[in-house]
A and B are shown apart, each in its own frame.
Chain A
């Protein structure tokens, strides 16, 4: 397991990548290069604004926002049924799984709308951001995907990107006992089962937390 809490991102050949916010998690490998898309990675800054600005279409970021894209839950659940019947799973059994109460720490979606096998929505706050987000932990296979998703979600809030230093951020979570923990110490599965909510800390609090991790 990597000793440091923060993954100091390599300086990318694409010049703008160097100014991007990287949120590193312990144990994470070096990130893959994000494929460029036509939109490029420059972004129009409209002054003082709150809106989300996500990176141009990296397919790896399987971030999920509650109720987005705006597709009826009926349609979403049909697709999950279809993919299961294609793989010859019994249709009634799949239906049963979806009707189960979503394994959700914070009650968000009605059971019928849950992903196959339920979902695990937790709130994510970032210091200084005007509003919180929700993510479904079950969408991610590990810490790396989670990190990518968080980056995609919170990039817009770092203000002047050039002044961002990865060591200024720490991704933490509140566990079942109510303690504030650093993300990345325990196996991902264990993390999923104990995480109640997440918080991306920045500033002096984060620095202390980051450097003390061994």
Chain B
């Protein structure tokens, strides 16, 4: 192969978009390494502390699309203290120095400052797409900088970020010359936006395919906008409250009917049941529907809408849909692939109108179902076994029974067998979250059968170290393991230390791991960062819990070639 000119090798590599494949070819020889690294366009960094940003930029100077993830997943549920880390600054600074051809930046669970956004806006002349998911630390001033300076901006996608609102000015910062927008999502911006500025921006963006508004946008503004976007494929509405006259809703229906390409609908902030009939004209063409921010819609409203959605593939909904509503989904949405049912109340012993029956109905009616997130207040082994048989195509199965440690609602047995059936039948399962009363047996099943499993989330489960050890031994493809409030200690932590090098990360909180165990791990595996995270007044707690060795409250272990990070706060100890 060394006799081929480099251009030929590079051309061959261009058929390998997957990072895994490109990583593999770069190991073959020095020539291939060089060709590969200079032609790499997409770089994905799953853990921002696994590698230094300078090193990434040095190796891949011609990268066009960079994707970086920061905090561990459990940060979504406030288990990671604020100021833990995950700063975007160093990444943007390094890129600004080393790869000015950058066009796209994706960040998830990172802390992004306005200064960083301003640097981003000014450093990359070809910058086209900024996607921020579950980030924080910035304000609408940072967005104003992006709008003002990124002349070629095609995509500004803000998903579920905590954004400090400094007024509506930012939207007016898009210059009149900016006509390239194809995707704009500002649903998570809490404050008002200037309706006129929004309408003008939409009017000069002929390529707009995806538009997600925030709750301040009125029905009338929405109607006006939709008259200008006949090619819109994805829409997030503004508020649809009952304050408006029926005329407004009629105008909305007319406007929606113009959007023949519309496939995906979300928003429905403060949605009044009166708005539901307006949506009917587009229901039949929808493949995606997100009603999970509409607690004001009752089961009957939801089912009326969904009964028209025969092409639906992705549905996000609140549990107020109830089991009977899920029956309607099951009989209508034969192409359903992804279902998420969120709780409308957040108490741990809460009641939910959805039970195992709703999910069984879905499994009967929607055999293509492959991705599930389901919050309910009760489940049974029998139901899970039935569901597993009906839907063997699950790749993501996340079940959250609201009450920790709750047994089978019929038999009062642990739910080991039910989840066992899931991992046995669903050979392609890549992601699993378990809940309810669970013993070490469930982990035995998981270790034995879940061979493709990449991510496992455990809460309030298991009896002993053996549980975690089954998983560590058996799940060959495991990349992320996150555990809370389960009785796994040092023996489990140290049972298979070499495995951590094959994984992205391990999270353990409120388990029975001790600091000594963590120190042993750190000394055996120098290529891991072992972070012990203690909250402020933890020190007096240590001896209270169980007599004997002090327990570690939160532990985050990850492989890294960057060494111990230098931005850790006081309450994080890196062993």
Q: Which residues of A contact B (CB under 8 A)?
A: 37-40, 42-44, 46-59, 61-76, 78-79, 81-83, 85-86, 91-92, 95, 99, 106-110, 112-113, 123, 125, 129-132, 152, 156
A42-B412, A63-B347, A106-B536 known; A70 and B459 CB under 8 Å? yes
Query: How near does chain B come to A41, taking the closest CB pair, in angstroms?
Result: 9
B439 contacts partner chain A, Cβ-Cβ < 8 Å: yes
Contact A71–B136 (Cβ < 8 Å)? no
B154 to A: closest C-beta gap in Å: 25
Interface residues on chain B, number (Cβ under 8 Å): 74
Cβ B191 vs Cβ A67 within 8 A = no
**Are A69 and B400 within 8 A (Cβ)?**
yes
**With A39-B378, A59-B350, A107-B536 given, is the CB distance from A113 to B78 under 8 Å?**
yes
Is A44 a contact partner of B79 (Cβ separation < 8 A)? no
Interface-centre pick from B269, B378, B403, B544 (highest chain A CB count, 10 A) = B403
For the complex with contacts A39-B378, A70-B457, 12 further pairs of A-B residues with Cβ separation under 8 Å are A39-B409, A39-B412, A40-B412, A51-B404, A52-B404, A54-B349, A54-B403, A57-B351, A67-B74, A72-B76, A81-B215, A109-B78
The CA of A55 and the CA of B407, in the complex, are separated in Å by 10
As a 0/1 sequence over residues 513 to 553 of chain B, the CB contacts with chain A under 8 angstroms (1 = contact) are: 00000000000000000000001110001001110000100
Check B409 against A51 for contact (C-beta < 8 Å).
no
Nearest-CB residue, chain B, relative to A46: B439
Number of A-B contacts (CB under 8 A): 193
Cβ–Cβ contact B463 & A63, under 8 A: no
The interface residues of chain A lying within 8 Å CB-to-CB of B545 are 125, 129-132
Are A57 and B403 interface neighbours, CB within 8 A? yes
Is the Cβ of B487 less than 8 Å from the Cβ of A50? yes
Q: Can you list the 9 inter-chain pairs with the closest CB atoms, starting with the nearest?
A: A67-B77, A50-B487, A109-B78, A74-B160, A110-B82, A52-B405, A61-B349, A67-B79, A39-B409
CB < 8 Å neighbour of B78 from A62, A110, A123, A132: A110
B437 at the interface (CB under 8 A from A): yes
Which residues on the B side are within 8 Å of A42 (C-beta)?
412
14 A-B pairs (CB sep. < 8 Å): A51-B486, A52-B460, A54-B406, A65-B404, A66-B79, A70-B433, A74-B188, A85-B241, A85-B270, A86-B296, A91-B215, A110-B136, A113-B78, A131-B485
- Asked if B375 is an interface residue, CB under 8 A from chain A, the answer is yes
User: How far is B345's CA from A76's CA once the two chains are assembled, in angstroms?
Assistant: 9
From the candidates B188, B270, B377, B535, name the one contacting A107 in the complex (CB within 8 A). B535
B77 neighbours in A (Cβ, 8 Å)? 66-68, 70-73
Q: How far is the CB of A43 from chain B (nearest CB, A)?
A: 6
Are B463 and A82 in contact, CB atoms less than 8 angstroms apart? Answer: no
Choose one: B342, B413, B487; the contact of A130 (CB below 8 Å). Answer: B487
Given A40-B412, A95-B165, A95-B191, A57:B377 Cβ within 8 A:
yes
B residues near A, CB below 8 A? 74, 76-79, 81-82, 134, 136, 160-162, 164-165, 188, 190-191, 215-216, 241, 269-270, 292-293, 295-296, 342-344, 346-351, 375, 377-378, 400, 402-407, 409-410, 412-414, 433, 437-439, 457, 459-463, 484-487, 510, 512, 535-537, 541, 544-546, 551
A21 CA to B55 CA, complexed, in Å: 58
Asked if A55 contacts B349 (CB within 8 A), the reply is yes
Complex contact A47–B191 (CB within 8 A): no
Contacts of A44 in B (CB 8 A): 407, 412-414, 437
Contacts of B270 on A, CB cut-off 8 Å? 82, 85-86
Q: A51-B405, A67-B78, A82-B270 are in contact. Are A43 and B190 (CB under 8 A)?
A: no
| A92–B190 CA distance with the chains assembled, in angstroms | 8
B536, closest chain A residue (CB): A107
B287 to chain A minimum Cβ distance, whole angstroms, is 23
Q: How far is the CB of B57 from chain A (nearest CB, A)?
A: 30
Residue of B nearest to A55 (CB): B349
Given A47-B463, A54-B406, A71-B343, answer yes or no on A66-B78 (Cβ-Cβ < 8 Å): yes
Chain A's nearest CB lies how many Å from the CB of B37? 36
Indicate if the CB atoms of B407 and A57 lie closer than 8 Å.
no
Picked from B487, B536, B537, B544, the residue with its CB within 8 Å of the CB of A51 is B487
